[in-house]
Amino acid sequence: MAARSQNAKQRRWVIIGGAAAVLIAALVAITTVTGTAPDTVEVTVTGDPVPVLSSNVPLGQDIAFGWDAPLVEGTDWNGNPVTIDPGDGRSKLIVFLAHWCPHCQAEVPQVQAWLNETGGHPDVDIYGIATSNDRTRPNWPPGDWLEREGWTPPTLVDNSGKAARAYGMAGTPFWAAVNAEGQVVYRIAGGIGIDGLISLQDLSTQSVEDLQAITSRSQS
């Protein structure tokens, strides 16, 4: 009888021990996980989406040239809000990155090295958009990848592809230059390197009229 009671007590302890381990793990997980996971991030787009870039074309020939850029709101990987507001009076470059895309993996360190070296253009803000996120593809999760690269531009998580569609993304990396008036002045798909980045920054600091004048001069 005593042995049976001892046995039952031991079994109870084993079960309680297992349950306690699971409970402790759950509590530690809850208290140590911070921020919003990428899977729950919502992206809000205000304004009309610009058409898809059918192919890389010279300045002024993009169908979206001069279009009002849409406002995009969301969060980064840590749940911090990221707003890309074309109406804030600042020129901006927006780069759409896919974690699995080799050209993006090559572009990010180049851009970051240049930013570290120069501090970037004082009048141009650079934003990242982590898009085409797919946990079944390499280099997942993109937040870890960008952190490893020391990526500093605010980067919005675009799991649904909403932001990418709003800017007519056509492959990654994809750059969109938006001027201080909030108009799309240039878009390009593919890696652009530092020379391309500098050119894109220059474009983003000019008005659509000035750029039109440049293109008409070069055509005549």
Partner 1 sequence: MPVQLYNRFLAILVLMALAAAVGLMFRPVRRMAGGMGLAEWWRWPAFGVAALATVGSLVFSEVIGYQPCTLCWYQRIAMYPMVVVFGVDLMGGGRRTRRYTLPMAVAGGAISLYHYLLQVFPAVDRGVCGTGVSCSARYVEEFGFISIPFMAGAAFALIIAILLAFGRPVATGEASNGG
- Binding-site ranges for partner 1 (CB under 8 A): 7, 9-11, 13-15, 17-18, 21-22, 24-26, 28-30, 32-33, 35-37, 39-40, 135-138, 140-141, 144
3-class DSSP state of 206:
coil
Query: What is the smallest separation between the CB atom of 62 and partner 1, expressed in angstroms?
Result: 35
Q: What's the closest the beta carbon of residue 31 comes to partner 1, in angstroms?
A: 10
Q: How far is the CB of 40 from partner 1 (least distance, A)?
A: 6
- Any idea of the CA torsion for 115, 121, 123, 126, to the nearest 10 degrees? -40
Residue 4 vs 217, nearer CB to partner 1: 4
Q: Which is nearer to partner 1, 3 or 55 (CB)?
A: 3
DSSP H or E segment with residue 158: strand 155-158
Quote the longest CA-to-CA distance of the chain: 106
Closest approach of Cβ 84 to partner 1, in Å?
23
Closer CB to partner 1, residue 11 or residue 123? 11
> What's the chain's Rg over C-alpha atoms?
24
| Least distance in angstroms from the C-beta of 100 to partner 1 | 9
What are the residues facing 157 on neighbouring strands?
130
Residues 169, 104 contacting (CB under 8 angstroms): no
Place of tokens 């280099």: 139
Closer residue to partner 1 (CB): 86 or 143: 143
CB closer to partner 1, 40 vs 61 = 40
CA distance 73 to 70: 10
